[in-house]
Structure 1
Amino acid sequence: MPAADTRQEFAPPHTPGMLRALVLALLAHAALVAVLAIGVAWKRELPPATVEAELWSAIPQEAAPPPLEETPPEPETAPQPEVKPLPEPPAPPPPVVKQAVPEAPSKADIALAKEKERLLEEQKAKELQAKQELERKALEKRQLEQAAKEKLDKERAAQAKLKEQQEKDKLAKDKAAREAKEKADKAEKAKKAEAADKAKAAEAAKQKAEKVAKEEAKRAEQERQQQLNRLTGLAGAAGSGSANSTGTAAKSSGPGANYLGKVRSAVKRNITFADTIVGDPTTEIEVSLSSTGEILTKRFVKRSGNKAWDEAAEKALDKLQKIPLDEGGKVWTPLVIVFSPQALFGQ
C-alpha cells in the first residue's frame, strides 16, 4: 500500500462544518480588530504640523512714487554719479518643521489594546484547543484502528487455530472410523468363520445324533419287538392253557393282562394333553422300577413325532412316580409303557 494511502487511512476524520465555523470565527475577529484599529487611529490622529518661514527679497523694491505733478522745470543741475546695486542677501535657511509630540495613550486606548491582545490570545487558545482536539481525535482514531486491527488479528489467529483443530479432529475421526471399520470387518469375518465352524460342528453333531438316534431307535425297536413277542407269547400261553392249569408258568414268565390294565389306568389319570391329536401318535417309554414300584429311570424307546404328546407322556410318569405292583407284590422291571391315544382314550 502507498505511503499516501496509509496516511490518509490513519488521518483524523473531517469534522462536518469545522472549516466553515473556523472561517466565520476568523472573519468575526478580523472585523472586530478592524473596528478597534479604526477607533484607535481616529483618537490618535496627530495635529497638522506647523511650519514657519521667513521670506526674503533679493532686490529691495521701492514703493511706486505718487503721480508726478506738473512742476516747473528745474534748473539744470550737475549729473549725479551712477549708483551701484547692493549685493544679494544670503539665502534664507530652510523652514524648520516641528514634529508633533505624540500624546500619552488614554485609558480607552489601553483598554482597546488589552482587549485586542485578549482577543488574539483567545483566538490562539481556541486554535490551540482545536488543534489539540484534532490531535486527540486523530490519536483516538489511531488507537481504535490499532485495537480493531489487533482484534481482527486475534480473530484471524483464532479462526486459523480452530480450522487447524477441526482438521486434526477430522483426521482423527476418519482414522478412528477407518480403524473401527477394519475392526468390525475383522470381527465380522471372525464371526462368520465362527458361525461356519459352529455350523459344521452342529452339522457333525446332528449327523452323529441322527446316527445315534437311528441306532437307539433300531435297538429300541428290537427291544420293543422282543417285548411284544414276549407279551404275545404270554397271551398265547394263557389262551392255550387248560382250565385246570394253575398258570404258574404263565404268571412267572410275564405280567398279566390285569396288571397291564392297572398300569394303563394309572397312567391315564396323570396324562394331560389339550391339543388336538391327529392320527394315533404312539410313544414308548421304558422305566426301571425299585422293589416298591417307584420309577428310578426312564428313557424313550420310541418317539411319536409329536413333541407335545411325547412331553405329555413323560410328565405323566413324573406325576405318577410309582407303578402299581402286580399280584403278590411282584415288580416287573424294566417295563415298557406304550402311550397311544387310541389305547388310552379309545380314540
Structure 2
Amino acid sequence: MNRKQSVYPLQPPRERGTGRAFAFALLMHVLLGLFLYHGIHWQNSTPAGAEAELWTDIPPTPTQPPPPPAPPVRVQPPPPVDQEQADIALQEKKRKEQEAAQRAAQLAEQQRQKALQEQQEQAAREQAARLAAQKAAAEKLKQQQAQAAKLREQQAQQQAQQQKQAQLKQQQLEAQQKAEADKAAQEKAAKAKALAQQQAKQKQQLEQERRARLAQLQGMAGQSESGNGLAKSGTGSGSGGTAASPGYADKVRRIVRPHIIWGGATEGLETVISVHCAPDGQLLSASVQKSSGNPQWDTAALNAVNASNPMPVDLNGKAPASFLITLRPAGG
C-alpha cells in the first residue's frame, strides 16, 4: 500500500463496484465488436444468382431437406480483472488524459503566442510601412520644396538678368543720346565758330573798306569829321565831338566793337548812341539818341558802349566832352 502511495500519491478514494462495472463494460464492448464483425461479414457475402423453374410433364422428384442451422457462438466471459490493476489502468488513463490536456493546452498556448507574435510582427510591419510611407512623403515634400526654391531662385536670377539688361540698354541709350547731343553741340559750336570767323573776316574787310573811305574823305576835306558821326557798316564806328583828331574815331571803334553781342537779324538796324565823357575818358553817361526800331539791338548797342568804359583820350591827352556813335550790326 505504501508502494502504491509513493507511485500515485494523488489517487482518489476507491469506490464500491468499480471492478464489476469495469468487467461489465468490457464484456459489452466485446459483444458489440462481435456483433459488428458478423454484421459486416454478412453484408459483404456474394448474393446468390437468380433461378428459373421450368415445368414439364416429368414427374416431380422429392426435394432435399434444408441443412440444420449452425449452433450459436458462445462468448467466453473475460477473465476476472484484479481491482488493483484496474485502478492502476484508470490512473494511467487519467494521467495520459491530463498529459494530453496539458499538451493540448501547451499547443494552444503556443499557437496563441505564435498568433500574437504574428499579429505583433504584422503590426510592426504595418508600422514600418507607415513610417516608410511618411518618410517617403516627407522626402517627396522636401524635394518639391527644393525644386520650388530652385525655380524661385532661377526666376529671381532671370529677373535680375533682365533688369541688368534693361539697365544696360538704358545706359547704352543714354550714352548714345549723350553722344548725339555732344555731337550736335560740337557741330553747333563748330558752326558758331565758323560763323564767328566769317563774321570777323567780314568785319575786317568792312573795316578796311571803311578806313579806305575815311582816308579818302579826309584827304578830300582836309579836316576832321564833324560831330554827327559817320555810320560804318559792320560793328559800327564813332566820331569824336569838337576838337577830335582824325584818328579818334578809329580808337573808339576798336574799343566798342569787341563788346557788341548780337545774334539776331542784321538788315536795316542802325542805332545812334550819345556819349558824355570826362577829360580822362571816364564815361559819364550814354543813351540812345536815335532808335533802330528793335529794342533788343538798341540794348545790345548801349551795353557795348557802357562796356567800353573808359573811352580813349585824344592826341591832346583829353577825351572829347561829348560825341555820337552810330552802330550797326555786322552785315546790316
Relative to the length of structure 2, the TM-score reads 0.35
